[in-house]
Chains A and B, each alone.
Chain A
Amino acid sequence: MLSIRKLTRSFAQAEGSLRVLDQLDFDMGMGSSVALLGESGSGKSTLLHLIAGLDTPDSGDIEILGQNLTGLNDSALADMRRTQVSLVFQQFHLIPTLNVADNIQFQAALCGRLDAAFETRLVGRLGLQSQLKKYPHQLSRGQQQRVAIARSLLHKPPLVLADEPTGNLDEQSSLEVMSLFSELVKNAGSSLLMVTHSREMAAFMDRSVLLHNGRLSEIDDVAKV
């Protein structure tokens, strides 16, 4: 469902241009989950942004569900994002002026895929029943992250991109949130590409890849990294 060919992206920097992604190839099947590992600054977030169509590559192709992103205009990319792709960030991920219920429904409402039954299930599973009327700033960081997860899954997007979704939480809540997350992703039938620094988190995924020197390589045993 996701297929990347010869993807290159460089940034202009003080000491000349920095090639963050270099002729990168990557494939991901429907319903699979992949952990994306790599040193800080190796280009993990850059890759995610490119896949979501938030950034444009210098060269190369990205195909989601058979649709090539190259050549799509801005509103087509936005439509693709709201229907096919969900992003979960480390922080700053809720709309502070809307309450929890509205935040959860936001993306599903945008693409007209509200599903009350699934919503109740998500909210129940994430333990957010009593928080629905609250505003993001009244929640703990773990609760905020759960809201973000509910939002990213409610419209059952084919692909979920997560950038260190638990990087902001302590170990205990990280594990809790992560197991919920991977369970619910499977429930929604979505594929998941998740950036993480942690082996424990990577262990929740079907496979792991390492971003190094602009290329991806498969990791058989996460513990070795």
Chain B
Amino acid sequence: MLQKYSFYWVAKALLSHYWRHPWQTLFLLVGLSAGVGLWSSVQIINRHAQTSYSQANTLLGAQANYWIRSRAQQGIAQQTYIDLRRAGFRQVYPVVETEVSTGQGDPISIIATDLFALPVELFENYGNDSAPGSPSDWLAFIQPPYRSWVPQQLAKELDLKAGGALLLRDGRKLPLALIQSRPGQGRQILMDIGAVFALTNEPRFSYLAVGTISPAKLRRLESFLGDDMELVENQQHLDLAQLTQSLHTHLTAMSLLSFAVGLFIVFNAVRFSLWYRRETILNLRLMGVGVPVLSAAILLETLLWSVIGTALGLLLGIQLAQFLLPGLSASLHSLFNASLSGIIELEIDSVIKAWLITLFGLAWALAWPLYQQLKTDVLPASSTGVAIDSERRARRILTLGAAILVLVAAFLYPRIDNATNGFILLGLLLFAAAWTLPLILAGSLRLIALFLPAHSLFGRWLLSDGWSQMPALRTAIMALLLAMTANLGVGTLIDSFRGAFIGWLEIRQSADIYIRGTNIDLQQLLNSEDSSDWLADSHLRIGVTSRWRDRPTLIRGADTRAPDSLSFPLAQWLGDSSADALALWRTQPGSILANEQTHYLAGLMLGENVQLETDDGLRDYRVVGFFYDYGNPYFQFYLPFDEVAKRWKYAYSRGLALWLKPPSNDVDNPMQRAEDEIRKSGAQAGDWIRQAEIRQLSVKIFDRTFAITSAMNGLTLIVAGIALLASLLAILQERLPQFALWRALGVRYDEQLLVMACPLFIFVSVAWLLAIPLGALLSWILIHKLNIVSFGWSMPMRWQMAPAWELGMLVIAVVIFTLLLTVIQLRRRLPEALARLGTLT
């Protein structure tokens, strides 16, 4: 009873601190919620994506257990479908998937089906009355003039209102929009089969999907299908999980970094709450409160903060996830053809995970130091001396720790074979750098002491003040170093990648027009009468999809004489030059080009043989070169056209590239002329795309893919800025009596600013100078190790100084801002501080 009562007072005494110091409370909350928020947003997104991949059964097309596809990728004729249904295969339903571009050039995908053909379990999702939308909605859906069901998020992005019709790039319009999404619809626009046929003028299905079916019936189905069709098992969600794993690991790593930086703020806030409560704790102990009661109170405080931090962090995380998701799901769609739904749900295990990690962070940043404080002597020691000594000791311990981290990292370096490993290595290096920082800061102060005139009292004062600020600033500068390093490193990665990608696009997509429609007589187009007037060159490609080493794989047949084949950008080659290797590929039968991914992800080597499954059995091809293939998660091989046509009966057209002649007397606008000819050969609008458009599209997809990375990068820097601000303000609190004394001694504000600012600028500059090589190292590892083991793409690193300068400016701005804030605060609180000079506190 007495115990309980005293516990109440102890807890009250300890917690009242936060009430009296709202700024510190605010910073603690900001640190916690920013850290937890950034971390949990990515957790929520990853979780959401993984659920979407595994919940294939809610996706219209992907829910199927099997797909019936045309081997030649020509789609399925309506008659085939009717025949199947008549033969009693009621599990079979048709799907059309197609890509169109909006007026603004945004790619959007359309999925269409026949609602009445859906198996019961799906019909419940799409056509049932209990699903969102009334029966009249779906009656309108299946009857001309039809409706398009547009997911809310997508409608918002496209600025499409209910009842509006989306205008496409080529002038066509989609049926009137109904804004609502069905489970698993993702970012796809859902339409009736009839609507999409009317739109594309091409009455063929992309594939037929097969719902739950008995093995016996499946065998019957297989024998029923013609030779030109195949029944394939749906492995999409397995593939997706595998292909996207690295991407999600990357995101997780970024979020962990943000969390760590957020924790630095907490650590800082706690440092000062400790400083303020030293007296309280001391008094409580002098009054005979035992360590167990105090510990219990600290535990209570930790729990309290963890609950508040988790709640606020998750709120922020959900907001952030909602903000980041559209970009990510768009890029997942364009890269992996994966659909994420736009609605985020918070699952209980995410909450528990967030709470646990918060608790862990708080235990490290709050409970442990507070407990240490408890255990120290009851009588106060002379603080400055102890502080200087313990700072020296802390520096030594941290440096030792850093050395150990570096050793572990060196041990790990040759063993990096996946993204997780790689990020552990990066984490080790980053923390090693952060832990060495105090030593380097101390060294830089010593160095500066050498250059200051020894007899200058002002110089000595300035330096000694720098020393005294060090313990308080240390953590903030560490957080700053981490954030700056990550910012430069990741920035360089994105920049290098963008540069490599755009350069590569320029070479790869050198043709003026790309035709990809399947219902065009390409041969006729090429052989048309006076095509030589406007056509300089062309490249007809074919391909087959297959699996190699357990990954979806594309085998392409290319015209070895086409302009883009002659300048194929190779990353590695047999022989002296890439031209030699290309010549080998052209002339020597059995030579093959493989994308880099096969090398880095599947271990294929130059000169090695790949075994591919052809129509007449396994065949060996010798790898003579690896080509860059950015953004492709799949394996890809290039063989000469004739080889593919000969070995794979069902190789289908992968499109035609056209190079136009410059304007001449005969043809003053070759582009116009070419498009007329293409139209004449039966192409629909949207079947072809100009070079400028396809490049724009590719770059857009690229930028969207990295939007989330850039956002996380920027946010982490902001959090570090707050950490710096928080610790500077807290230092001010701690040092107010000092500053008051300076005032009393006649020190002017400008002199005081100089003394306060010099060490700060030195520290920040040292951190900045360190961040530059560290950032370069980080990006080097990201580009040459992590990117390669995760995605299989190699690229040259492009280091630039401009971002580093920008970062420096930004940090200086933060420092100046906080200094000004400090002086304003000092002016306001000087009397209070002076009062403390006069009395025993």
Contact = CB atoms under 8 A, between A and B. Distances in A.
Interface of A: 45, 49, 52, 54-55, 74-75, 78-83, 85, 87, 89-93, 95-98, 102, 105-107, 109-111, 135-138, 163-164, 167-168
B831 A49 contact: yes
Contacts of B468: 96-97
B741 interface: yes
A82 B464 contact: no
Contacts of B749: 74-75, 78
Contacts of A95: 461, 464, 738, 741-742
A132 to B, nearest CB: 14
Contact of B748 (A55, A74, A87, A167): A74
Interface string B311-337: 000000000000000000000000000
B393 interface: no
Given A97-B465, A98-B460, A137-B384, A168 B840 contact: yes
A45 B612 CA distance: 93
Contacts of B88: none
Interface string B800-841: 000000000000000000000000000000110011111110
B458 to A, nearest CB: 7
Nearest to B465: A97
Interface string B456-496: 01101100110110000000000000000000000000000
B782 to A, nearest CB: 42
Contacts of B839: 90
A52 B744 contact: yes
A87 B744 contact: yes
A224 B740 CA distance: 36
B349 interface: no
B383 A90 contact: no
A168 to B, nearest CB: 7
Contacts of A135: 384-385
Contacts of A81: 743-746
B747 interface: yes
A91 B745 contact: no
B750 interface: yes
Nearest to B383: A137
Nearest to A88: B744
B382 interface: yes
B748 A93 contact: no
22 contacts: A45-B834, A52-B744, A54-B740, A54-B744, A75-B748, A78-B747, A83-B746, A87-B745, A89-B741, A89-B744, A89-B838, A90-B838, A92-B837, A95-B738, A98-B461, A98-B464, A102-B460, A107-B745, A135-B384, A136-B384, A138-B385, A163-B837
Given A74-B748, A106-B457, A109-B457, 5 more contacts: A81-B745, A90-B837, A96-B468, A97-B461, A106-B461
Interface string B743-772: 111111110000000000000000000000
Given A92-B741, A96-B468, A138-B385, A102 B748 contact: no
Given A97-B465, A102-B460, A109-B458, A90 B840 contact: yes
Contacts of A55: 830-831, 834
Contacts, number: 102
A160 to B, nearest CB: 12
Contacts of B744: 52, 54, 81, 87, 89
A97 B840 CA distance: 21
Would you list the 4 A-B pairs with minimal beta carbon distance, nearest first?
A: A82-B746, A97-B464, A81-B746, A137-B382
A100 to B, nearest CB: 13
Nearest to B749: A74
Contacts of A49: 831, 834
A102 to B, nearest CB: 6
Nearest to A109: B457
A96 B384 CA distance: 7
Contacts of B835: 45
A75 B836 CA distance: 23
B507 to A, nearest CB: 62
A56 to B, nearest CB: 10
Nearest to B835: A45
A78 B838 contact: no
Contacts of B467: 97
A75 B744 CA distance: 12
A91 to B, nearest CB: 7
Contacts of A98: 460-461, 464
A78 B748 contact: yes
B737 A92 contact: yes
A160 B307 CA distance: 55
B840 A110 contact: no
Contacts of A109: 457-458
Contacts of A110: 745-747
Interface in B22-76: none
B747 A93 contact: no
Interface in B371-394: 382-385
Interface in B704-747: 737-738, 740-747
A64 to B, nearest CB: 13
Contacts of B740: 54
A48 to B, nearest CB: 8
B163 to A, nearest CB: 62
Contacts of B465: 97
A55 B831 CA distance: 7
A45 B749 CA distance: 23
A96 B837 CA distance: 14
